[in-house]
Amino acid sequence: MKNNFWLGLLIGSVFPGIAYLLTQYSTVATSLFEGKEIGFYVLAVAINLFLVRLFYRRDTQQDKVAKGIVFVTFIALILFLYTHKIIA
């Protein structure tokens, strides 16, 4: 696998995208996390952080991929906070 920042952006956006789709367009979030729609987002962040650790600890370090994942995770967090009126 290439050590590419854009690949990290793509990999990092998969799980927050799935979390968004599950919370907006299905009832799975309400049945699994009653009253806490943030559950899937926390799960997506945890998976992304695990992937960052995995890409940094490989024998062939792929730091650019890990940086892309961290960047997407940070942007997704800011968007979540803004869209849920936690920050103005």
pLDDT tens for each residue of 16-70: 999 889 888 887 776 777 767 788 888 999 999 999 999 988 777 788 999 999 9
Cα separation of the two ends of the chain: 40
State the amino acid at position 72 in one-letter form.
Answer: V
Record the pTM: 0.85
Q: Please give the C-alpha separations between residue 33 and each of 36, 50, 84, in angstroms, as whole numbers.
A: 5, 22, 17
Per-residue pLDDT at 27: 79
Buried b (16+ CB within 10 A) or exposed e, 71-81: ebbeebeeebe
Under DSSP, is residue 62 helix (H, G, I), strand (E, B) or coil? coil
Most confident of 9-18, 54-63, 74-83: 9-18
